Amino acid sequence: MTTDAASHPQGSAPSQPDALVVSGVSHSFGEKRVLDTVSLTVPRGTFAVLLGPNGAGKSTLFSLITRLYDNVTGEIRILGNDVRRTPGAALQRLGVVFQSKTLDQDLSLQQNLLYHAALHGLGRPEAKRRAAEALDIVGLSDRAHEKVRNLSGGQSRRVEIARSLMHRPGCLLLDEPTVGLDIGSRESVINIVRGLVQRQGLGVLWATHLIDEIADTDLVIVLHKGKVLFSGQLPGFLAHTGAKSTREAFRIITGTTSTDEEAA
């Protein structure tokens, strides 16, 4: 493990860029405007919840950050690296857990992780070391040689988190990672990611439509119909809307009157 801090003795300089900065990004598919001048910032060591109902534009935003397609307007920076101008450096610092299952079911956990390490240009010995380290973080070390097919939903999610950590990203995106998981698995997934924020100083953007996943210390970003309606700490969110509960605050700010459980 060669730390780059060694080559930069003044590595703790004050000018440390934020994990993720999105500023003034809009996107349309044909006539339909899916994102409207979206701006948000996720500092390092922050767990940010991107809260929005289905169709709010979360997935489009993720596609833009992961450079599936380019942002035509505005700017996206991952630890200071512009996604359009220096995509290689930006993607190197970015870890992603997609909403859909993306592991090879017929391959073992370790084979899946090694494939991902190769995609980041890591050599075999280093990749194996990191696979062991990443599986240790998510608590699946003893199952490294099992096929993914044999895992439960929550366990495969944890493998996907392990995979996203293989290249040691500074910014982690998770697109509705708890969908379809039971309560126990949900908690373990959330705790693993919160642990990463604390210990590794990651900036995490956690997209969800489940309000009970928000903790008091989280940064709350509300995305609705392609617009960012609020960005700040949870107490500020409640004060801003004058609501007593997060659920109520969300209803007030998005102007949805119905108690639409799926949206809230």
Binding site for other proteins (CB under 8 A): 3-5, 8, 11-12, 16, 19, 29, 34, 44-45, 57, 59-60, 62-63, 66-70, 72, 79, 81, 87-94, 96, 98-102, 104, 106-107, 111, 114-124, 147, 165, 168-170, 196-203, 217
Judged by CB, which is closer to other proteins: 118, or 239?
A: 118
User: Tokens for 58?
Assistant: 């979360």
**Residue (25 or 34) nearer to other proteins, CB:** 34
Judged by beta carbon, residue 129 or residue 199, the one nearer other proteins is: 199
Q: Which is nearer to other proteins, 218 or 251 (CB)?
A: 218
Shortest reach from residue 242's CB to other proteins, in Å: 25
| Shortest reach from residue 17's CB to other proteins, in Å | 10
Nearest residue (CB) to other proteins, 53 versus 201 = 201
Long-range contacts of 253-261 (CB under 8 A, 24+ apart): 253/222, 253/224, 253/229, 254/53, 254/222, 254/224, 254/229, 260/53
Rounded least distance, CB 202 to other proteins, Å: 6
Residue 105 or 245 with smaller CB distance to other proteins: 105
Compute the least distance from the CB of residue 91 to other proteins, in Å. 4
- Between CA 65 and CA 133 the distance in angstroms is 27
What's the closest the beta carbon of residue 184 comes to other proteins, in angstroms?
Answer: 24
Least separation, in Å, of the C-beta of 11 and other proteins? 7
**Alpha-helical segments (H) within 66-217:** 87-92, 109-119, 124-137, 153-165, 183-200
From residue 158, alpha-carbon distances to 24, 32, 155, 227 in Å are: 33, 35, 5, 31
Nearer to other proteins, 102 or 245 (CB): 102
How far apart CA 229 and CA 241 sit, in angstroms, is 11
Give the span between the Cα atoms of 262 and 92, in whole angstroms. 34
Query: Residue 196: which residues within 8 A CB-CB, separation 6 or more?
Result: 137, 165, 172, 202, 204
Token pair recorded at residue 233: 């700490």
Q: Which residues pair with 205 in a beta bridge?
A: 48, 173
Q: How far is the CB of 107 from other proteins (least distance, A)?
A: 6
Question: How far is it, in rounded angstroms, from Cα 154 to Cα 193?
Answer: 13
